[in-house]
Amino acid sequence: MSKFQIITLAVFVVCIIGGVIGFATFKGSSSKTTLSPITVWGTFPAETFTQYLGNINNGAAEPVNATYTQIAPDQFNGTFIAALARGTGPDVVLLPVDMILPHLDKITSIPYTALPQRTFMDTYIQEANIYLSANGALAIPFTVDPLIMYWNRDMFNAAGIATYPKYWDETVKLIPKLTVRDSNGNVTKSTMAMGDFTNTTNAREIFGTLLMQLGNPVTAYDGKGLLGTTISSQNASVSQAVLSFYTQFVDPSSPNYTWNRGMPNDKTAFLSGITGTYFGFASELKGLRAKNPNLNFDAAPLPQVKTGGTKATYGRMYGFSILKSSANVNNAYQIISALTSAANLASLSTTLYLPSVRRDLIAAGSSDPYLSVFDTTALITNTWLDADVSQSRALFANMVQSVTSGKNTVSEAIQDIESQYNLLLRNTTQ
């Protein structure tokens, strides 16, 4: 045999061995009657996870052995990294998508030999595709919480508005009907909380949604494999359009002026009946009802771009990721597969009163007036890889503030956040 043939054969054999090892590592079933326990750490509520696990084990022939520890988001990274250094870390992490970027090097992907890419895409909603990598799935989806629009029925009825707006241009047209100003021009009742970050609960997610609706993914990998922001000069038209649209609502000289930082927090304003809409998460429904049982409001999908856009809304998705440091990745894979089975996730959606991450469960439909809205919205949820949610929120807020204060033009603000956000992302991934 020639030297070239020998090298080629050697590479081929290595690939086969690697494939066999990968397949064996993530077997679909186990010869063991009972799987050994695993440890899971995350920011998901411990009470909910414990209840969910208990419900599964109450009806199971063999228990699902998992111990869960909840860690506050602002403490997770430090606690997790320190534990790994000591060799006392968990087998699995349960985190929202925008927290996994700093830990991608610690996650072992589930190979497509065990969980085919086509099976994954057919099983889970579109947002879950963010977990797909060249070598396999970085996580198995667990829950999703979509950003939606709550609207005050009494305010709409009093203004002669028959239904909620489905598009942003329709929402803007409501401002003359819903926004009320006093003799000095001060806003006393608002159509929506847009244009500022100081008193808008989900401003980062709203702004990101506007970008995604115009085809801007917020962050993306370039040709060199580096993650950077797409709020940039290369996407200037979209980035500037979104920033201009967002900031107009706090400009007193704009005909669409309807919000300012002197207003109460947007959720408080909505519960007080002085804001016609509130852009919040589906999970906030029960809390809103509890805080003001007399408020006559409803839920609807977040407004979309009528023409030339992509249907999208932000979704807070949690997923299970297996760590390279786990002593038994196959054991962990089997347990999280059980935790995310169709039957178990169906009961979880009922418990959480949230849509499922599985397409088949959404396709089954719901007669519940709110879950039907949540299910439809879940199909268009999306998100982005982020370095640090609190830091990116601060960057977004500074960008908006620089425009509304007159410090920067829209173009200058985009240039600033491009360099600052890229630096944050690169520091996280390098």
C-alpha to C-alpha distance for 70 and 67, rounded to whole angstroms = 10
Q: Are residues 128 and 41 in the same domain?
A: yes
> What percent of the chain is modeled with pLDDT above 70?
92
Let me know if residue 21 belongs to a domain.
no
Let me know if residue 14 belongs to a domain.
no
Q: Is residue 5's pLDDT more than 70? A: no
Query: Two tokens at 319?
Result: 């997923």
Residues contacting 171, CB < 8 A, separation 6+: 165, 191, 192, 277, 303
Residues contacting 170, CB < 8 A, separation 6+: 303, 306
Q: Are residues 286 and 195 in the same domain?
A: yes
Let me know if residue 291 belongs to a domain.
yes
What's the mean pLDDT in 308-332?
A: 96
Positions of E strands within 71-169: 92-96, 140-152
Give the domain-ending residue among 382, 401, 419.
382
Q: Are residues 47 and 140 in the same domain?
A: yes
What is the average pLDDT value for the chain, to the nearest integer? 92
Amino acid at 43: T
Q: Give me the pLDDT at residue 231, please.
A: 97
Instruction: Please report, for the domain that includes residue 68, its CATH number.
Output: 3.40.190.10
Q: Are residues 310 and 330 in the same domain?
A: no
C-alpha to C-alpha distance for 3 and 13, rounded to whole angstroms = 15
Q: Are residues 52 and 171 in the same domain?
A: no
Amino acid at 107: I
- State the DSSP H helix or E strand holding residue 260, giving kind and residue range, or none if neither: none
> What percent of the chain is modeled with pLDDT above 90?
87
Q: Give me the pLDDT at residue 27, please.
A: 61
C-alpha to C-alpha distance for 120 and 151, rounded to whole angstroms = 35
The model scores a pTM over 0.85: yes
C-alpha to C-alpha distance for 257 and 254, rounded to whole angstroms = 5
Let me know if residue 23 belongs to a domain.
no
Question: How many structural domains are present in the chain?
Answer: 2
Let me know if residue 5 belongs to a domain.
no
Strand, helix or coil at 278? strand
Plot region of 353 (φ>0 → left; ψ -120 to 50 → alpha; else → beta) = left
Q: Is residue 75's pLDDT more than 60? A: yes
Let me know if residue 171 belongs to a domain.
yes
- Residue 94 burial (C-beta neighbours within 10 Å; 0-12, 13-18, 19+): buried
Let me know if residue 7 belongs to a domain.
no
- Give tens-digit pLDDT for 261-294: 999 999 999 999 999 999 999 999 999 999 999 9
Q: What band does 185 get if pLDDT is binned at 50, 70 and 90?
A: confident
CB 405 within 8 A of CB 413: no
- State the DSSP H helix or E strand holding residue 210, giving kind and residue range, or none if neither: helix 203-213
Let me know if residue 13 belongs to a domain.
no
Q: Are residues 202 and 251 in the same domain?
A: yes
- Give tens-digit pLDDT for 125-157: 999 999 999 999 999 999 999 999 999 999 999
Q: Are residues 375 and 251 in the same domain?
A: no
Q: Give me the pLDDT at residue 33, please.
A: 54
Residue 373: HSE in the Cβ half-sphere, 13 Å Cα cutoff: 18
**Residue 291 belongs to what domain range?**
147-314+387-429
C-alpha to C-alpha distance for 328 and 92, rounded to whole angstroms = 11
What's the mean pLDDT in 45-68?
A: 92
What's the mean pLDDT in 374-403?
A: 98
* pLDDT-wise least confident of 13-27, 60-74, 370-384, 407-421: 13-27
What's the mean pLDDT in 193-197?
A: 97
Q: Are residues 181 and 274 in the same domain?
A: yes
Q: Are residues 153 and 210 in the same domain?
A: yes
Q: Are residues 162 and 201 in the same domain?
A: yes
Q: Is residue 317's pLDDT more than 80? A: yes
Q: Are residues 192 and 215 in the same domain?
A: yes
C-alpha to C-alpha distance for 346 and 324, rounded to whole angstroms = 29
Q: Are residues 119 and 248 in the same domain?
A: no
